[in-house]
Amino acid sequence: MGIRYLIADWDKHKEQLSSVRYEVFVVGQNVPPELERDEADRHYNHILALDGEKPVGAARLTNDGYIGRVAVLEEYRGMGIGRELIRQLEEVAFELGFNQVELGAQLHALPFYEKMGYQAFGDIYMDAGIEHRHMKKNI
């Protein structure tokens, strides 16, 4: 299957990035839309997965080295798209001079990130009504 990955620019790709995030977080996980949206997105690095022209995956790296908003449409899960989004964002982070990345993982996604070498630390906390833990990885 030919999934393309695009290092995305918020101004240019905000519709595609937002459509995946809206579907996954707002529709799929009942996150309020105003919590999903973030004015700071235009300053961050983004990656977009496309099946043809259809946006199917998205993730971002903040300016302080946090990976977040990792989202793959339900019907595209389990195909390695999430892993590739993370791998490419780690490359971006490395090029920007980071030697470590962090993220806030929803508890159910902990094993997904552990498979990619992330280690959980600290207590469980709530964000958007969902249980999370901090995780980090040296890159």
The answer to whether residue 77 forms part of the interface with ligand COA (CB under 6 A) is: yes
The answer to whether residue 24 forms part of the interface with ligand COA (CB under 6 A) is: yes
The answer to whether residue 70 forms part of the interface with ligand COA (CB under 6 A) is: yes
Among 8, 17, 81, 93, binds ligand COA (CB under 6 A): 81
Q: Starting from the edge strand earliest in sequence, which strands make up the sheet with 119-127, in order? A: 3-8, 45-51, 54-61, 66-72, 100-106, 130-138, 119-127
Nearer to ligand COA by Cβ, of 12 and 115: the residue is: 115
Rounded to the nearest whole angstrom, what is the least distance from the CB of residue 108 to ligand COA in the complex? 5
